[in-house]
Amino acid sequence: MDIWECIYTRRSERRFKGESGRAIPGKDIEEILDSARYAFQIENIPQWRFLFIRDQNTKQVLADFAQEVAHMIFGQSYEIFSGHLWYLPEERRPTIAEYTQTGELWKYPLEADFVVIPCITKGAWFDSRVPYMEQATAVGGMAIQNMWLTAHKLGWGAGCNAMPLNDIRRRELFSTFSGVPMSWQMCAAYCFGDRTSARSVGPSRASLEGVAFNEHWGNRFIRIGFRDDSSEIAIPTKDVTEVIKGVRNCYKFDANAEVEDWKLEKMIHCGIWSPNPENLNHWRHIVIRDEKIKEFVAQCTKEAFLLEYKASFEQTKAHHPHLSDDELLQYVEWMLDEGWKYPLECNVMILTTFAKDWVEYPHIAGTLPGGIDYIWSTATGCAIQNMRLAAHALGLETQVNLYPIAEFRRNEQFVTHLGIPSSWVPLTLLCVGEAGDAPDFVFKKRPVPSIKDLVFDEHWGIRHTPLK
Ligand SMILES: Cc1cc2nc3c(=O)[nH]c(=O)nc-3n(C[C@H](O)[C@H](O)[C@H](O)COP(=O)(O)O)c2cc1C
């Protein structure tokens, strides 16, 4: 399936046929799971494991939890609930409230063929710089988005159910049940199955100008159609799986190559069409070309590379299993001399931020069920992945940079300079450009971890048996 068709026609499916429907064949399940491992991982070490569930008893537990929580959240107040349907006309909202406020709608894990629960490391298994949980959960979201798109390409429905695991008490119960250790954060239940009928039309999204700023918070990014004639633009395309497998981290950009505005716009637009909790469009992006900001990011990167590559050769070796010792020595030298400059050489950076919670939700067990537990950063990862996929399809290269964000002092300077309000969390900085010339070892393909090491069947620790 063509990448654009896949991104724009993917929907959240919440009604599956259950036993009366088709079982998803093993080869499709393997293809869906497999697509996850091509997404970005911090330091090339997977931040996630997936719990793969087919057992009806476990699905029942998830469905019951989901219904209880959804009823608790949405059943409280029609006024609050109807506000979440901002994109629908007033008169259509009560009908939807009828089946939503009871929580009945959220029982769909029961009818799904399989459920995937992403578990994100809280840093206990990380051997170097402990990433912020927001970043690690976003990385999980990137992997999920690959699976969602692959399921859609294969004709299967997929939908996220955030309800069953978004409060501490139910998470604790489920952790005892499934053996997921405390050092891993469970983020929602992703359901896959034979949908009752395909949803073709998605809920409306905010406009590009509503979610993207130019250089500074609040300064609207104006799309090219409002500035210029864009009628002649021919958008290239590619197969979605080819794109998923083709995205790589670029450490060398061509400093002279400009990213045309329409390509940038297409990337952001694909981000807007990602799944997002309750369609609240909870992300904002700042498009940055300012040389001074790029210099700041490059300096943060240089500092991080010094710490990273000068710390331990053994550790660096473990992170780069695709390089021989000789290559690795050259690689480290190149990274310290040249590699840190990529934020300066890329043409544009997209800083993605997200709103952590919508405070109208009632508190449950000390958390805000709608968001505070990283489910929203996971969703933002889905948007970032869509942007990366779009960039690749358009012949561009990207690199996920976390250095000015995942360190308290730098983060504070960065946020203040860009005028980001404290209710918005900066998540990743996507460097975008065209590939430049670099020695072969820089672009050498890294090994992709095996699904057997990343997916557990039914219970934590039980390695996935590939299905036929
Ligand atoms: C992290 C995350 C959590 C979500 N939680 C739920 C949920 O609990 N129940 C639900 O029906 N939809 C949920 N959704 C789906 C969104 O409501 C949906 O993505 C949004 O309305 C846009 O619709 P679309 O995905 O069909 O384009 C979730 C999506 C994400 C990414």
Q: How far apart are CA 127 and CA 411, in angstroms?
A: 22
> Tens digit of pLDDT for each residue in 57-70?
999 999 999 999 88
> Tens digit of pLDDT for each residue in 256-266?
999 999 999 99
Distance from Cα 205 to the centre of ligand 1, integer Å: 13
Mutating to test ligand 1, I would choose from 276, 361, 368, 375 the residue with most ligand atoms within 8 A of its C-beta, which is 276
14 lines ligand 1 (CB under 6 A): yes
**pLDDT averaged over every residue in the chain:** 91
Confidence of residue 365 (pLDDT cuts 50, 70, 90): very low
Kindly compute the dihedral angle of the four CA atoms of residues 117, 122, 126, 130, in this order, to the nearest 10 degrees.
Answer: 130
> Tens digit of pLDDT for each residue in 79-120?
877 877 878 888 988 888 888 889 999 999 999 999 999 999
pLDDT at 220: 95
Strands (E), 198-327: 212-214, 283-288
Ligand 1 atom 1: the closest Cα is on which residue?
Answer: 379
Distance from Cα 292 to the centre of ligand 1, integer Å: 38
Structure tokens at 266: 């297409």
pLDDT at 232: 84
> Tens digit of pLDDT for each residue in 203-255?
889 999 999 999 999 999 999 888 888 888 899 999 999 999 999 999 999 99
Domains of the chain from N-terminus onward: 3-201+449-457 (3.40.109.10), 208-443 (3.40.109.10)
Global pTM?
0.94
Helices (H) and strands (E) in the chain, counts: 17, 11
Distance from Cα 427 to the centre of ligand 1, integer Å: 20
Task: Classify burial at 91, counting beta carbons within 10 Å of its beta carbon; exposed 0-12, middle 13-18, buried 19 or more.
Answer: exposed
Q: State residue 354 phi and psi, 5-degree precision.
A: -140, 155
Mutating to test ligand 1, I would choose from 15, 134, 278 the residue with most ligand atoms within 8 A of its C-beta, which is 278
Kindly compute the dihedral angle of the four CA atoms of residues 390, 144, 84, 80, in this order, to the nearest 10 degrees.
Answer: -150
Ligand 1 atom 20: the closest Cα is on which residue?
Answer: 279
386 lines ligand 1 (CB under 6 A): no
For the segment 156-167, the average pLDDT, to the nearest whole number, is: 93
Is the per-residue pLDDT at 369 higher than 50? no
pLDDT at 63: 98
> Tens digit of pLDDT for each residue in 414-461?
999 999 998 899 999 999 999 999 999 999 988 888 999 999 999 999
Confidence of residue 197 (pLDDT cuts 50, 70, 90): confident
Amino acid occupying residue 447:
P
pLDDT at 373: 65
Mutating to test ligand 1, I would choose from 12, 72, 74, 357 the residue with most ligand atoms within 8 A of its C-beta, which is 12
pLDDT at 426: 94
Confidence of residue 370 (pLDDT cuts 50, 70, 90): very low
pLDDT at 127: 62
Distance from Cα 216 to the centre of ligand 1, integer Å: 29
Cβ atoms within 10 A of the Cβ of 228, count?
A: 11
Is the per-residue pLDDT at 362 higher than 80? no
Distance from Cα 240 to the centre of ligand 1, integer Å: 21
Distance from Cα 277 to the centre of ligand 1, integer Å: 5
Task: Classify burial at 404, counting beta carbons within 10 Å of its beta carbon; exposed 0-12, middle 13-18, buried 19 or more.
Answer: buried
Residue that wins the pLDDT comparison between 166 and 25: 25
